[in-house]
Structure 1
């Protein structure tokens, strides 16, 4: 089962909003095919935007990074959780207010640009703590944040991503650092700015007519849930964090509109599927039997995903998966789903 009528997926939207880590690049290297995909969108006159939870770079720095990879990008096309957090704090507190910053220099720069004063110690009397990912964040930074929040400061997290993708696999993200402070305080942040909160995507979508923005992400718990909460269609690509096993176990608020292996799904009808689909389609069928999700039949490998999602999402609990045909076994192996 492909998208409607064999048309290019991208042609149904006025704006494509990309996540960055795991979709466009891993750390500082472009994902294969990403440069070509965005270049094709530019050549077609398609509007694009980028929404990232990573608070370690400013919008201009992200645009420069993308441009250096061969993707022409402007700062105004980039929405970061760091800038959104700074804007939120500027709306809440008077100019010059002291904000304890836990994170990278980019987050401090956004706080300064918003007319606020970044500080590093709880003894400075900050009205708020803003916490974002930074590779140099250490115990002392987390301790100062805990003391300030316990003393009455508002606690704002740019995001709570448990991990961030890398060439060596998932690494601890800002959510892991937030969890350390949460453990010491016995409570979570007062405000979480980034995905899955909908504002980054909603801000991008306001640039085009309602409902005509497509979110492209690699994480069900941030990108896809954020799109659902913003009321936007989404495309899950399997180049980053979330895999097919996580997709089949996804609750309703984390279910994408479409799935593709990579960004080729934007342009090639055979490289993308809409989920869920019928219980039988494209030569495949799936059902839950004896507490196990069973795939049978034969067809295009990616075409098995809609029927698998339909069967899996019809049950209250995730089910182990088994193959009922040799073609199904090969498809499940491709998806990393083979079980004993």
Structure 2
């Protein structure tokens, strides 16, 4: 699926399915991101199709839907796609019914594995034929040691995702990728398969379920949400409410560059021409190491990112005037001195 961004109109009107990441986009831990509830409710009120695709394997789809509903976001379980469910499906496709699987993660992952007709175990002594690893707050040395022994004995090793961090109101916390790194170090090898983003599996499932022809992915992480959208050939919107920040966007490699950038989900109702990462029509320009112009700092960010992606050195960008210097300070970019 390869799309050309529409030339004008609201972003929400340009696509027939909006696929949301959750952590850092809709909520942080169990608290709603500012403006997120109103934005998603507005989409529902307008009859827009939505889906939620999360790498977090610590909740099942029903629990995620309940959490969203409790926050005021209209959501049904069949709109939620989790890496836990996708990993369990993949295991069921590859293994014999009743096969033993050592589960590293939360109870939600264990339940998904059991419901696929497989047998969850917790010890390498049970001779599991596979290890599935997902995020869980209670994951510790004991279960990681059992997983290492099982993989070393020949078990298939599947990770639900490799997100290094999880966003939270207190700042980034260790994610499943940090736990996968423990086994990677102990085993000196990579997992046999990673299911979640940036792999396009969850996005492809969402598109298939809704028979969508023009989906857009909304996420807060360049290395999972946006890269996953690029791999799937889908347009994407980066919101700056979670992990990836302006400096990350400016330095993004080609395979992690979003189609659009917005401060938050209110951007869904802005014009696509305004949101697109280009150096045109923003009120800003980058010339000879200087940011010039006036207007919204996020518009300045789009201009700076476009310049950087085209090969312009923006490492020591300076603001030409008070407003430009203020925009750079707000974005955490450049030397922010006036010239």
TM-score past 0.5 threshold? yes
SS across alignment from 2:98: coil
In structure 2, the CA distance between the partners of 1:245 and 1:115, relative to structure 1 (3 Å rule), is same
Long gaps (5+) in structure 1: none
CA displacement at 1:272 relative to structure 2: 5.2
Measured in 1, the distance between the counterparts of 2:213 and 2:308 equals 28
In structure 2, the CA distance between the partners of 1:316 and 1:137, relative to structure 1 (3 Å rule), is farther
Measured in 2, the distance between the counterparts of 1:61 and 1:317 equals 46
Q: Which moved more, 1:153-162 or 1:327-336?
A: 327-336
Partner of 1:36: 38
Is 1:303 paired with 2:315? no
Measured in 2, the distance between the counterparts of 1:207 and 1:312 equals 37
CA displacement at 1:327 relative to structure 2: 1.9
In structure 2, the CA distance between the partners of 1:124 and 1:302, relative to structure 1 (3 Å rule), is same
CA displacement at 1:302 relative to structure 2: 2.5
Is 1:45 paired with 2:51? no
CA displacement at 1:265 relative to structure 2: 0.3
SS across alignment from 1:159: coil
Measured in 1, the distance between the counterparts of 2:7 and 2:131 equals 50
Measured in 2, the distance between the counterparts of 1:62 and 1:252 equals 32
Q: Give the TM-score taking structure 1 as reference length.
A: 0.93
SS across alignment from 1:206: helix
- Contact kept? 1:281, 1:307, Cα under 8 Å: no
Measured in 1, the distance between the counterparts of 2:257 and 2:290 equals 20
Measured in 2, the distance between the counterparts of 1:4 and 1:227 equals 17
CA displacement at 1:313 relative to structure 2: 1.1
- Contact kept? 2:16, 2:213, Cα under 8 Å: no
Q: Give the TM-score taking structure 2 as reference length.
A: 0.93
SS across alignment from 2:323: helix
Partner of 1:204: 206
Partner of 1:264: 266
CA displacement at 1:264 relative to structure 2: 0.5
Tell me the matched-pair count.
Answer: 332
CA displacement at 1:310 relative to structure 2: 1.8
In structure 2, the CA distance between the partners of 1:33 and 1:299, relative to structure 1 (3 Å rule), is closer
Measured in 2, the distance between the counterparts of 1:22 and 1:51 equals 12
For the aligned residue pairs, the C-alpha RMSD in angstroms reads 1.9
CA displacement at 1:285 relative to structure 2: 1.2
Residue by residue over 1:198-219, the C-alpha shift from the partner in whole angstroms, topping out at 9 and shown as x without a partner, is: 1101111224456411110000
Partner of 1:322: 318
Measured in 2, the distance between the counterparts of 1:318 and 1:179 equals 33
- Contact kept? 1:266, 1:272, Cα under 8 Å: no
Q: 290, 293, 297: which one pairs with 1:294?
A: 290
Residue by residue over 1:47-91, the C-alpha shift from the partner in whole angstroms, topping out at 9 and shown as x without a partner, is: 110000000000111011111111121111000000000000000
Measured in 2, the distance between the counterparts of 1:130 and 1:233 equals 30
Is 1:153 paired with 2:155? yes
Residue by residue over 1:148-175, the C-alpha shift from the partner in whole angstroms, topping out at 9 and shown as x without a partner, is: 1000001100000000011100000000
